[in-house]
Every structure is written in C-alpha cells, then in structure tokens.
Chains A and B, each alone.
Chain A
Amino acid sequence: MNAIVAKGLTKRFGGVAAVDDLSFTVPQGAVYAIIGPNGAGKTTVINLLSGLYVPTSGEIALLDRSAAGRSPEELARCGLSRTFQNIQVCMNMDALSNVMIGAHVHLDPGFAAAALRLPRIRKADAELRARAAELMSFVGLSSQIKSRASQMSYGGLKRLEIARALAADPKVLLLDEPAAGLNHTETDAMSDLIAQIAERGVTVVLVEHDMKLVMSVSHRILVLNYGRKLAEGSPADVRADRDVIAAYLGVPA
C-alpha cells in the first residue's frame, strides 16, 4: 500500500497553474521530500494533500482511499496530520493543551458529557495529558511542558507543532518547511527528529529549502519547478540531475 498517490494533480488560481498535471507516489514508511525554487508550488501541494485546497483536477489517494476534495477534518480522521510553514499554534492556550488539541479525533467532542465531567471524559483526558507530555519530551520540549505557547521561542513553536501533529497518531505526516527560520544547531536537531519520527513508522512528506537536511533525511525527493515535476528519485539521483542543477543555479550561457 502506498501512503499517497497523486495523479494529474492540478490547482489553478485564476489563470495561474500553481500545480500543473503533477503525478507522484509516496511509498508507506518513506521520508519523501518536495523541493524546488520559490513559487514552485510546494506549499500548494501540501495544502492540496491536507484538504485545505480543492484540486482543480486530478486525483489523490491517501492510504488507498480517495482524498481529493475531502475536508481537512475528514482527512485527519483518515490518519493525516500536518504542520505549517507560518506557524499555526494557538497562542491563547498553554503548550500542553496545544499538543492535546492534536488528539481531538480520538476524543469525545460532546458538550453535555464534558459539562457533566463524566468519568470516561476525565479518564481519557488524564491519559492524553500524560501522552502529550511524553510527546513534548520526544520533540525536545521536556523543559517547557508547563509553558504558555506565547512564551515559547520560534524554534520551540516549530517543535510544538510537530508534537501536536503526532498526538493524532498519524500514519502520514506533512511537514511544511520544518527548518525555516532555525539556526544550524536547531536544523541538525530537526533532522534527527524527522528521522526518529520515520523510525516510528510514520510516513513523512516534507517541504524544505535546507538542502543539507533534505539530503540527509529523505529516501526520495520530488523536485518541482513552475508547478510541474522536474525530477524525482533518490537524493543521489536528484543531486546529479542536470535539469535540477539548471533550475537552482541557472544554465551556463
């Protein structure tokens, strides 16, 4: 079974095709990177995969089930989780609650049961609180379990988003520029973290500009340019690809 299969995926904004007839396959358990110059359509692909955008045409299969045009809420129930390039942490909440939000699909969202504080709600919440704290330690935030989100550093918030995404127990995790804005040390740590997540059996789809991170952590790489597939293959293949070099560095005159 493949984690994601995209066929002829196209997204137009007015006359501009941000993603144009794109097909790719993400094998289960892989770390799959999507790279490309600015404006290549990487984030659009992530937004299509996570249901925030509806494709103009084309198909997406998530874990062998049709996913194109389905809402983010539905996809979350199917085992998809993601982080954001521009951080989407709830600053009005504490760090741990932010992580607990991630597990929402596994919990009872009823108002009446909650207002009465039924034992099953209390028990599920106590278990989740412990698991959320574990996840915060896993992503390297063990010292900030009691922090408010608004007190945390940028790098901390990036990790917090990953912990929140993992709280859903996802089968597929989309990471949109996890290393953007991080310094060298933080980027190396992020690289290790992504490898550890993959070891847990989670398929990771990664959009990233930091080539060192991409080359060290990915099993396969998809290169986009102007919304189209420029190349796809192992890190070594992609590094040697003439078209890729031309797109990134320009063609010698």
Chain B
Amino acid sequence: MSGKTSSFGWLLLLAMLAVFPLLSPGAFAYDLAIRCMINAVIVIGLNLLFGYTGQISLGHAGFVGLGAYMSAILTARFGWSPVFALLAGAFTTALLAFVIARPILALKGHHLAMATLGLGIIITIILNNEMEYTGGSDGMSVPAFSVGYWTLSGDRGWYLLLSVCLVATVIGTLNLVSSPAGRALQAIHGSEIAARVAGIDVTGIKVKIFVLSAVIASVMGSLEAHYLEFITPETAGFGRSITLMTMVVVGGMSSVGGSIVGAVLLTLLPQALTALEGGETIAFGLILVITMIFLPNGLIPTIRDRFARQRP
C-alpha cells in the first residue's frame, strides 16, 4: 500500500468513526455499527492469516465461539469478572490454536481447508451438546461487561470501546505487515521455498500468525457475547466462518482497508436486502458472484490499482 492511499484511508476511517455519533443515530444504527466493527476486527485478523500468509481457515468462527462461550460460562456460571473471563478465553484459544497449529498447518490447500472446517464443526458440536454449561442450541444469556463496580452499558459506550479496538487493530496490523515479520508472512504466501531459503522460520511464523488470528477472534467473541448479552452456537457456526472468509475475499486479500469494507458491506447487506422478502439470499449470492467475476482481487485492491494506474 502506498503512503498516499493509506493515509487517505486513515483519515476516512477516523472521520467516519468520529462523525457517526454526531449524526445522533438511533439504537438500530448503533447496533449495526457495533456489529460491523466487531466483524471488522475479526476479519482483519483472518486476513492476516488468509490474505497475507495464504493459509485458509474455514473454521474461524469456532475461535469466536470459543471466546464467547468461555466468557459466557465463566461469568454466568462461575461468577468470574468479565475481564478475567475474556483473558481466560483468549489464553485457552491461544493454547488450543498453538497445539493444533503444527499438525494443521503442515497441510496445504484443500487439506488445510478440510482440517480447519472440521475444527470449526467440532467446536459447534461441543457447544450444542454440553447443555449443562452452554444451554445447547437454545443458547445462554451473558451478564453485561463490567470492570469492578463499573458496568459498560449503552450504545455509546460500546461504540467507543469497539472504535478503540478497531483503531488499535488497524494500527498494529499496518505496522506488522510493513515490518520484517509482515514481509515474512507475505513471502510464505508467495513462495514457501524462497522463504525458507531466505532463512524464514516458515513453520514457526505460520504457528504464530494462526495463534494471533485465533486470539483476535476469541477476544472479539468475548466482547460480542457481553454486548449481545445472549449467545447461541450459531456464533461459532459454519455459516459464520464462511461469512468471515467472504468478507476477506470481497473486501480484498492482503488489505486492511479491504477487511473493514468487506466486514461492513457483508454486515449491512443482509439488512438492506430484507426489503426483498425472501429474495435476500438469492440477491446476496448474486452480489457475491458478480463481485468475484468483476473484482477478483476484492474491492479495495481493485480500486487502489485503478488509482495507481491513473497517477503513476
């Protein structure tokens, strides 16, 4: 990403985050904005793994679910403080991701897709079956997010918290991808052999980025559980995993801006299409197919390349 486009994207993001509350939006608009931001952070994490490093994950919602249910169960059933529950969820997810990363990431292409798909499905099955803790497919309610005696409530509070999460993730990710570690990720995507010969610890870095990506998903899952105050295994479901992947692809692989645009678009689109009454699934699919045919690199990279060609 060239300096000009990235600083333009920056200004746009900050301006939109700042202006939105000034438009005195209703509860519905706030809710949509918050969902968009939660997805955007998860998708940036997934893009690091899939877009930048080229490792597919079809079970990423599993990690979101893991974080969400760890938070839900530890706070609702065991009375933990939400912050500690969130950290415990992140730690558990990190551990799980670390343990399975080596065998899973040794797989390539379709095999990796199958393995991560299986992982996501296993997590969903566990969430559905451990009724005693998770409430099964009926879901469970989750206490509000609180730190000590202070409870986070209201749309504005959540909006602010997630704005901070989003901006921090964007800064961290942009820094990461333009560093030696970030170039190593992209080199693994480009040519694993070239990466190894250049002295890059391919397996080690794949494991690290898988864990990082999973932990981001887990933390956002925890926040989502406290925000919605009710979760079902759908949080971790296969459909969610596919939606997250679609957000990466539509917005743009290897693009932080693309991740945000993809997340916002695919969070809002189903809402916008409800007017079609029953036709929304078809319209949704159609829009995706058309995007992939005409913008195979995703929205943001395609637009960026057009600009770059006009002003060399």
Q: Which residue of A lies closest to B197 (CB)?
A: A72
A interface, size bucket? 35 or more
B interface footprint on A210-251 (CB within 8 Å = 1, 0 otherwise):
000000000000000000000000000000000000000000
Q: Does A100 contact B (CB under 8 A)?
A: yes
Alpha-carbon distance A110/B181, docked complex (angstroms)? 6
Which residue in A90, A107, A114, A125 is a CB contact (below 8 Å) of B191?
Answer: A90
Alpha-carbon distance A114/B173, docked complex (angstroms)? 9
Asked if A168 and B198 sit within 8 Å, CB to CB, the answer is yes
Q: Does A193 contact B (CB under 8 A)?
A: no
Asked if B199 and A91 sit within 8 Å, CB to CB, the answer is no
Q: Does B184 contact A (CB under 8 A)?
A: yes
Instruction: Say which one of B37-45, B95-103, B107-115, B200-208 lies at the interface with A.
Output: B200-208
Q: Does B180 contact A (CB under 8 A)?
A: yes
B interface, size bucket? 20 to 34
Alpha-carbon distance A135/B178, docked complex (angstroms)? 20
Enumerate B182-215 residues with CB–CB distance to A below 8 Å. Answer: 182-184, 186-187, 189-191, 193-202, 205, 208, 212
Residues of B whose CB lies within 8 Å of any CB of A are 54, 172-173, 175-176, 178-184, 186-187, 189-191, 193-202, 205, 208, 212, 254
Asked if A73 and B194 sit within 8 Å, CB to CB, the answer is no
* Residues in chain B near residue A125, CB distance under 8 A: 178-180
Q: How far is the CB of A217 from chain B (nearest CB, A)?
A: 23
Alpha-carbon distance A42/B173, docked complex (angstroms)? 43
* Residues in chain B near residue A110, CB distance under 8 A: 181
Which residue in B189, B200, B208, B254 is a CB contact (below 8 Å) of A73?
Answer: B200
Alpha-carbon distance A109/B183, docked complex (angstroms)? 9
Asked if B212 and A111 sit within 8 Å, CB to CB, the answer is yes
Asked if B179 and A97 sit within 8 Å, CB to CB, the answer is no
Q: How far is the CB of B174 from chain A (nearest CB, A)?
A: 9
Alpha-carbon distance A101/B195, docked complex (angstroms)? 8
Asked if A117 and B179 sit within 8 Å, CB to CB, the answer is yes
Which residue in B184, B194, B195, B196 is a CB contact (below 8 Å) of A71?
Answer: B196
Asked if A73 and B199 sit within 8 Å, CB to CB, the answer is yes
Q: Does A54 contact B (CB under 8 A)?
A: no
Task: Decide yes or no: A105 and B199 within 8 Å by CB, A88-B194, A117-B179 being known contacts.
Answer: yes
* Residues in chain B near residue A92, CB distance under 8 A: 54, 186, 189-190, 254
Enumerate A71-124 residues with CB–CB distance to B below 8 Å. Answer: 71-73, 76-77, 81-82, 84, 88-93, 97-98, 100-102, 104-105, 107-111, 113-117, 121, 124
Asked if B180 and A76 sit within 8 Å, CB to CB, the answer is no
Q: Does A50 contact B (CB under 8 A)?
A: yes
Asked if B184 and A104 sit within 8 Å, CB to CB, the answer is yes
Asked if B196 and A73 sit within 8 Å, CB to CB, the answer is yes
Q: How far is the CB of A134 from chain B (nearest CB, A)?
A: 18
Asked if A115 and B172 sit within 8 Å, CB to CB, the answer is yes
Which residue in A109, A117, A168 is a CB contact (below 8 Å) of B184?
Answer: A109
Which residue in B176, B193, B201, B205 is a CB contact (below 8 Å) of A88?
Answer: B193
What 4 A-B pairs have minimum CB-CB distances, sorted nearest first? Answer: A90-B190, A76-B199, A114-B179, A105-B199
Q: Which residue of B lies closest to A92 (CB)?
A: B190
Asked if B200 and A104 sit within 8 Å, CB to CB, the answer is yes
Q: Which residue of A lies closest to B203 (CB)?
A: A73
The interface centre, meaning the residue of B54, B175, B254 with most chain A CB atoms within 10 A of its CB, is: B175
Q: List 19 A-B contacts (CB under 8 A).
A: A50-B197, A72-B199, A73-B202, A76-B198, A81-B198, A88-B191, A88-B194, A90-B186, A97-B183, A101-B200, A104-B198, A109-B181, A111-B208, A111-B212, A113-B179, A115-B176, A116-B172, A117-B175, A124-B180
Asked if A72 and B190 sit within 8 Å, CB to CB, the answer is no
Asked if B182 and A114 sit within 8 Å, CB to CB, the answer is yes
Which residue in A71, A107, A111 is a CB contact (below 8 Å) of B176?
Answer: A111
Alpha-carbon distance A33/B256, docked complex (angstroms)? 46
Q: Does A159 contact B (CB under 8 A)?
A: no
* Residues in chain A near residue B183, CB distance under 8 A: 93, 97, 100-101, 104
Asked if B186 and A121 sit within 8 Å, CB to CB, the answer is no
* Residues in chain A near residue B196, CB distance under 8 A: 52, 71-73
Which residue in A97, A114, A149 is a CB contact (below 8 Å) of B175?
Answer: A114
* Residues in chain A near residue B175, CB distance under 8 A: 114-117
Alpha-carbon distance A82/B196, docked complex (angstroms)? 11
* Residues in chain A near residue B184, CB distance under 8 A: 101, 104, 109
Alpha-carbon distance A71/B212, docked complex (angstroms)? 26
* Residues in chain B near residue A91, CB distance under 8 A: 190
Q: Which residue of A lies closest to B169 (CB)?
A: A115
Q: How far is the CB of B94 from chain A (nearest CB, A)?
A: 13
Alpha-carbon distance A108/B191, docked complex (angstroms)? 21
Alpha-carbon distance A117/B173, docked complex (angstroms)? 10
Asked if A81 and B180 sit within 8 Å, CB to CB, the answer is no
Asked if B201 and A73 sit within 8 Å, CB to CB, the answer is yes
* Residues in chain A near residue B202, CB distance under 8 A: 73
Which residue in A84, A111, A149, A168 is a CB contact (below 8 Å) of B181?
Answer: A111
